[in-house]
Amino acid sequence: MSKRSYDSSAHEKRISKYRVNDDDLFEYVLRVAIISYVIQSKASNHLAHASEVKEKEHHSKFSGAISNSIVSIGDIFKDLRDGSKSVKFPEKLLKVLEQKLQNIAMGKDAAYSDQLTRRTMAVFYGQFIGDSFKRQMKENRSIEELILMFASQATSVLRKEPTLADDGWKVEVNNQIAQFVRMLRDCLKTLSHVSPELNSRLDMYHAKLAPPQSANDSGYDSASASRDRGDSISTQPSISQSISDMPFVMIVARLFKIPENAMQGEVDRMWKTCTEKAAVIDLKTCLKNINSGAPFPGRKEDFSSDTAWNHWRTQETSILSQLMVAMVSLNPELAKSMPSDNGSIYATSGARPGSLPSAHIDSPSRTKRHTSIGSRHSFFGAVDEGEENGGDEGDDDDEIRVGHNFTFIPPNPKKFYRRLVEYCLVTDLEFMFSPEVDDADEVPLSILSPPHVDLINECAMRWRINHTYRATCFLDQIKQLYERSDVPMECIPEALQCTTKLLQDLEIDKWPIQDSELLASVYGGLYNIFLSSLYHTMDALPNLKVSVAQPYLTILDLIRESGLIERFEADISARLSDLTTHIQDVSVQFYQEKMQSLQASPGVNRALPLLLMTDELEKAAKQLDKRFPDPLVGGVDLVSLVVEAQVPLFISELQNSSRRLYESSMNGPTPDVPIQDIFSLYRRTQALLSMYKAFVPQGQLEFDLGQFFTPYIHHWLVDTDNKTGQWVQAAIAADKFEAENTERHSASVVDLFDSLRSPISFLQDLEWSDEYQEARFFTSLSKTISKAIEQYCRSVEELFMTEMFPRPSDYLQPQKSSAWLEKAKSLAIAGEKKIEPFNFRPESCVKLNNVEAARKLLDNLYNQMQVDKVADTIANHGPPVPDKNERPRFLFAVKIVMAEDLVPLDSSPSSLLDTFVTLSDEAGNRLVKTRTIYESLNPRWEETHDISIDKPLWLMCSIRDRALMGQHDVVGRSFICLNPKEFGDFLTHDVWLNLENTNNGHQGRILLRISMEGEKDDVQFYFGRAFRFLKRSEGDMMRIFIDKMSPYIRQSLSRPVLKTLIKAGSLGLDYNKALGNVTALYRSALGSNASEVQIPLPHNEKSRVRPEELTDVEIERAIIPLFDYFDANLHILNTYLSETAKDMVMMRVWKEILVIIEGLLIPPLSKLSSDMKPLSDKEVDIVFKWLKFLRDYFYAEGEGVSLEKLQNQKYRDVVSIRLYYDWHTDTLMEECVRTMQQSLREAVPIKKRVKSVYNQRNLGTIKERKKVKKEEKEVSNGETIMRILRMRPNTQEFIAQQLEMMTTVQAERERAQVDRQPRRSQRPRQAEIPQVPPLPSAAS
């Protein structure tokens, strides 16, 4: 017996239970190749015989054609439509078929050059490219419906063909349908992963429809017979035994490298053994084994459930039955020569020779579909859904033995199949790496060549290898090749697609147990392999690219989603833990190497490496988050692990560098580490911590960012505070004090507030993590802002005072040569000092505008800083205030009101003083200095100054007489102690100080109005203080304006002018001119364009001469110089002052006029006697007419100040003087007593608390206080009556009694109020206030 002997018994002895040798594999593969050729040849001969019989007889030809024509297409598909599930063709087939049809229609395909065929294909191509047709085909993807669509078009075209006589068109239809089926088969060969079931059906349709032709390389396909074939063969041709006609045999020869002559000998010796009968017996044995529970091809114990077993048995018996029916239908002689159970399975009675009979099998149900004999180019076909047909065979067949008694099936089919796949893979790989294959040639990722795929599938079909094992075995083989680095990684996804599709078509629960366990094992192995590969790719972190890791991740995700690796959960968890640890280790290593590299760079800036490191960390995290947004392999969050490893290292490095950073940022005016870099480091660290919190929500990172950087903020705040003086000086130095916009302020105030706004924005941009600490920072910054505002106000005031009080050598004030100046000189009383009118400069107006604009800009800062929110944060979130050893501070507001009865320094009783007040501390340091009031023994300064103390302080109050040259003379001085205990009620106290002079004794007295409040480290307090600075500066500057105008107003509205008017007579005066001066001066001063019609004199009336009584024109003429003065100066104020400042100045001027008019009529209130005499009735009339003229001037017929503002409370008080002016002294006393008693019976207004800084912290609170003040109750007329009584004899005692009574009652009510009110918690404890120091010496 030869080496390739096929003796069954000897062969079985050589088979090892665990090992398959190549000789045995060659033997069984060759058997399959031979039987495949035999069966295919019989099918072709059968069709050829039918075609020849058809051509012998004309009637028989047409009868046969009809049976095989379009009419029989419905019969071919009948069984499939009735019960079998349609097998869908791949969607890509439509694209390939469209190109094929286009080539045929255009004559580019030589295989389809026949004109009738081209015409039919062109018509079908027109239908095929329609959108509705494509949409329909894509939805159902039924191969039968596609064939029926072509058959319909072919019938429509060929039925009208005149060259096809009688029923010849039917024959042509049948031929073209066969060609179309062959074309579909050819198109499917170009596609991968085609269902074997689909190929089997097309083979069957082609075999039934097509005339005979030589087989192609697959051994199954046949071409359509030519219509013009004329030869007729009456006998069935014999089957060739030449291996050149056997495609599969040639494939086996090349696979096993057997020469053709040796292969021919092997085929010849095996020919009689490999028969159709033996193939049918193998199939029947498989059916009997299934029913008997034999191990092969499968039994119930091989499945995990009855459902899975029944599904497989139904499907397997159906396929076996269909294979047998197909073979019997092609060779009816098999039914005669084969013993059967009941003969019905092989019966062909009534069936057409070319059709597949609907055979009845002894089973519970009929076979409902037919399957292919073999599949060609789809290695793993779709899983066939089992039909519920039994396919059970009877047990009365003695020739069919139960067990492993097969001709074509090896003893261990799976081992043989596995070895065959391995053999084919190795062979194809050797060929791919051979010189015959160019590097540019494309090779399939499945590695297997199409001939080997066809051979493997044919063997799998004959050996009854399940699709589940086929796919799993192939995947396992590819895995092993990949492990040996014989194939690239891209082959793994290709192999996985087969198992994935199989799992989609058939649940894993319906797989055989061995196959599912094998797949799980293969998946587990693959998971470990690629998890290990992924492990090593992490060495590239944090610069890992998606293209590097994604192939591994795709495979890992595909395997994990299958759910088959759950049994390896413990091992996988350990591997994932190793991967996590490795990621963190690589991240730590990257951080350390990068930090070491950055720190090795030259430079003294220790913050720079940290800054650069933060950039690297953030860049890496963002890059990884963008590249890998989802966790890897189901739970490994790459960016989270990297951030979790690197950020704590950075924080640790930052903490270790704390001391070096601080020292380097404080070492001189130009430190090694600029403060800007420190704050950049803060922002970057804050960003890293936010990133850490976002990516590692469960992470615990013990680091107080605020506490670490707080010393730097304090240093920055101190530095900012030190720079404010420079900001103020720079802003003022660069300012020309020229109006720049409609608000008429200059550049310095804008520049200053831009500088102040910058640190606020900077602090806000830091987004400090501790809200309370941030509020404390803003509090400290508000103190700096208050300091800057105070300095700006003082600097602007100094410049303003220089302009308002120029020295003759520095500035010679230009005098306007005008009529009003000449009139002023003519009206000057001989022997009295002449008053030179003062002209205002535009720069002075701009400075006042700056202060007014600063209030608005400060209010903007208040809102930008959100001061109220900051104060609320400190109040509600701050820690409890500990007991402090430092002394509390107190803020005293000292208002220097006025002085009375000052004594001139020389002996002349008519001498006057030019006085100013200074307040000095115990060391002689001057704390306060007022402006100078010229030529008055009863000066009023009305200036308020703040003095901050932490202990009782003695102040020396000195009044000095200004001298143009040399030292200023001291008029008088006195002492007062600012004692917090004494002013602890927080009320306003009027303090009269008696002035003493070492040479002259008593020198009069001075009134100080003092109030106190606790000075707080509070943001609202500092802003209120800044607003108060601005308000006082604005008031002081405005008061200077009035003081400069007041002397001339007082001279124009004085008793000498009044007496001169009465005594001297008046000159002739044009009426229209005088009236025009009154009505038009205000409009001219304000720049109004309104014109006023003048009142003409009657033609018959001459110029008036003074009668005995003064006319209104004559009375007005006396003060026309005043109107001219207003005309000149108010025009300047109107031009250069802002609207708000202009309104305030006008009201101050009006108030000054009312005070001067009041001073003409009555003396000030005092218990001292007055030498002022009352005016006569005529003089009183003139004074009130002056008041009316001036009111009309300011009103300007509605274009000036409104009457509501002009006729205010002060105006009404002045007008009320006329009511009591002529009363008898006794009557006035009675009215005074009655008025005082009435006021005492009513609720006397209690002295209100001092206007706190908090009431002035922004423009809103300032407006609210003004509103409340405006609603206060009006003052009674008692004071006016007592002032009139001062001019009456023998009234001094009465006035003193009334004043004392008022003072006593007011003091009692104040004490009662203090007793009723609880002491405020914020008031300092008395024990904390030091004792009052002794009175300092009075040395000057």
Helix axes 867-877, 771-804, angle to 10 degrees: 140
The torsion angles phi and psi of 119, rounded to 5 degrees, stand at -65, -45
pLDDT of 820 strictly over 90: no
The torsion angles phi and psi of 1224, rounded to 5 degrees, stand at -70, 155
The tens digit of pLDDT for each residue in 899-930 reads 887 888 775 555 788 889 999 988 888 888 88
Is 1099 within 8 Å of 702 (Cβ atoms)? Answer: no
**991 - beta bridge partners?**
1008
- Tell me the pLDDT of the chain averaged across its residues: 76
What's the mean pLDDT in 1209-1237? 86
Widest distance between CA atoms in the chain: 175
Cα–Cα dist 111/186, whole Å: 12
Cα–Cα dist 550/548, whole Å: 6
Q: Which of 480, 416, 425, 426 lies closest to 448 in space, CA to CA? A: 425
pLDDT of 387 strictly over 90: no
More confident residue, 588 or 1313: 588
What's the mean pLDDT in 573-581? 88
pLDDT of 388 strictly over 50: no
**1006 - beta bridge partners?**
899, 993
Q: Which residues contact 723 (CB under 8 A, 6 or more apart)?
A: none
More confident residue, 1012 or 442: 1012
pLDDT of 424 strictly over 90: yes
The tens digit of pLDDT for each residue in 961-980 reads 887 766 788 888 888 888 88
Tokens 């507030």 sit at which residue?
753
Element (H, E) at 1012: strand 1001-1015
List the structure tokens of 889.
């501070």
Q: Which residues contact 282 (CB under 8 A, 6 or more apart)?
A: 406, 407, 408, 409, 462
Sheet with strand 889-900: strands edge to edge: 926-929, 915-920, 953-961, 969-978, 989-997, 1001-1015, 889-900, 940-949
Residue 626: which region, alpha, beta or left (left: phi > 0; alpha: psi -120 to 50)?
alpha
Q: Which of 143, 149, 97, 103 lies closest to 122 in space, CA to CA? A: 103
List the structure tokens of 1088.
């109004």
Integer-rounded Cα Rg, in Å, for the chain is: 59
Burial class (CB in 10 A: 0-12, 13-18, 19+), 747: middle
The tens digit of pLDDT for each residue in 737-785 reads 888 878 888 888 888 889 888 989 988 888 887 888 888 888 998 989 9
Burial class (CB in 10 A: 0-12, 13-18, 19+), 251: buried
SS (H, E, C) 861-921: HHHHHCHHHHHHHHHHHCCCCCCCCCCCEEEEEEEEEEEECCCCCCCCCCCCCCEEEEEEC
| Highest mean predicted confidence (pLDDT) among 100-109, 524-533, 1027-1036 | 524-533
pLDDT of 223 strictly over 70: no
List the structure tokens of 626.
């963008």
Confidence of residue 69 (pLDDT cuts 50, 70, 90): very low
List the structure tokens of 1024.
């209120």
Q: Which of 599, 771, 777, 595 lies closest to 679 in space, CA to CA? A: 777
Is 783 within 8 Å of 948 (Cβ atoms)? Answer: no
What's the mean pLDDT in 265-274? 89
Cα 1304 to Cα 754, 1240, 1307, 1310: the distances in Å are 53, 11, 5, 10
Confidence of residue 1240 (pLDDT cuts 50, 70, 90): low
pLDDT of 413 strictly over 90: yes
Confidence of residue 127 (pLDDT cuts 50, 70, 90): confident
Cα–Cα dist 194/99, whole Å: 19
Cα–Cα dist 1174/1180, whole Å: 9
**948 - beta bridge partners?**
891
What's the mean pLDDT in 927-955? 84
The percentage of the chain sitting over the pLDDT mark of 90, rounded to a whole number, equals 9
Cα–Cα dist 419/417, whole Å: 5
Q: Which of 1178, 1313, 1294 lies closest to 1231 in space, CA to CA? A: 1294
Structure confidence at residue 236 (pLDDT) = 45
Is omega for the bond preceding 542 within 30 degrees of 0, making it cis?
Answer: yes
Is 820 within 8 Å of 1120 (Cβ atoms)? Answer: yes
| Highest mean predicted confidence (pLDDT) among 268-272, 565-569, 1069-1073 | 268-272
The tens digit of pLDDT for each residue in 1174-1196 reads 888 888 888 988 899 899 988 88
pLDDT of 1084 strictly over 50: no
Is 104 within 8 Å of 179 (Cβ atoms)? Answer: no
The tens digit of pLDDT for each residue in 1053-1062 reads 888 888 888 8
Tokens 């930008």 sit at which residue?
864
The tens digit of pLDDT for each residue in 306-348 reads 999 999 999 999 898 888 888 888 777 777 655 544 333 333 3
pLDDT of 252 strictly over 80: yes
Element (H, E) at 1116: helix 1112-1117
More confident residue, 350 or 1259: 1259
List the structure tokens of 712.
């730097």
pLDDT of 1102 strictly over 60: no
**956 - beta bridge partners?**
920, 975
Structure confidence at residue 334 (pLDDT) = 77
Q: Which of 233, 276, 240 lies closest to 49 in space, CA to CA? A: 233
Structure confidence at residue 1143 (pLDDT) = 86
Residue 782, amino acid: S
Structure confidence at residue 33 (pLDDT) = 92
Across 130-144, 388-402, 481-495, 1155-1169, least confident range? 388-402
Helices (H) and strands (E) in the chain, counts: 45, 8
What's the mean pLDDT in 825-835? 46
List the structure tokens of 591.
């951080």
Q: Which of 1175, 1176, 1088, 1168 lies closest to 1127 in space, CA to CA? A: 1088
Structure confidence at residue 1259 (pLDDT) = 62
More confident residue, 311 or 878: 311
Confidence of residue 410 (pLDDT cuts 50, 70, 90): very high
Residue 173, amino acid: V
The tens digit of pLDDT for each residue in 993-1029 reads 888 876 666 778 888 888 887 667 788 888 888 888 8
Cα–Cα dist 362/390, whole Å: 8
Cα–Cα dist 953/642, whole Å: 65
What's the mean pLDDT in 1217-1222? 86
Q: Which of 731, 26, 59, 164 lies closest to 14 in space, CA to CA? A: 26
Q: Which of 820, 1218, 827, 1283 lies closest to 1058 in space, CA to CA? A: 827
Q: Which of 985, 948, 897 lies closest to 1249 in space, CA to CA? A: 985
What's the mean pLDDT in 884-895? 74
Confidence of residue 566 (pLDDT cuts 50, 70, 90): confident
Structure confidence at residue 583 (pLDDT) = 92
Across 720-734, 789-803, 827-841, 1296-1310, least confident range? 827-841
The tens digit of pLDDT for each residue in 1284-1331 reads 888 888 888 888 888 888 888 777 776 776 666 554 444 444 445 666
Q: Which residues contact 594 (CB under 8 A, 6 or more apart)?
A: 613, 616
DSSP H stretches of helix in 1254-1291? 1259-1270, 1278-1285
pLDDT of 810 strictly over 50: no
Structure confidence at residue 1255 (pLDDT) = 62
Residue 837, amino acid: P
Torsion over CA: 732, 736, 740, 746 (sign) = positive
pLDDT of 550 strictly over 60: yes
Structure confidence at residue 1072 (pLDDT) = 43
The tens digit of pLDDT for each residue in 6-62 reads 333 333 333 334 478 888 999 999 999 999 888 887 766 655 555 454 444 433 333
Burial class (CB in 10 A: 0-12, 13-18, 19+), 167: middle
Element (H, E) at 972: strand 969-978
Cα–Cα dist 384/361, whole Å: 19
The tens digit of pLDDT for each residue in 1258-1291 reads 666 666 665 655 554 455 677 888 888 888 888 8
CA 980 to chain centre: 54
3-state secondary structure of 954: strand
Cα–Cα dist 946/1032, whole Å: 10
What's the mean pLDDT in 1185-1209? 88
CA 422 to chain centre: 57
Burial class (CB in 10 A: 0-12, 13-18, 19+), 879: exposed
Q: Which of 1169, 1161, 1285 lies closest to 1223 in space, CA to CA? A: 1285
Structure confidence at residue 222 (pLDDT) = 34
Strands 989-997, 953-961: pairing is: unpaired
Q: Which residues contact 521 (CB under 8 A, 6 or more apart)?
A: none
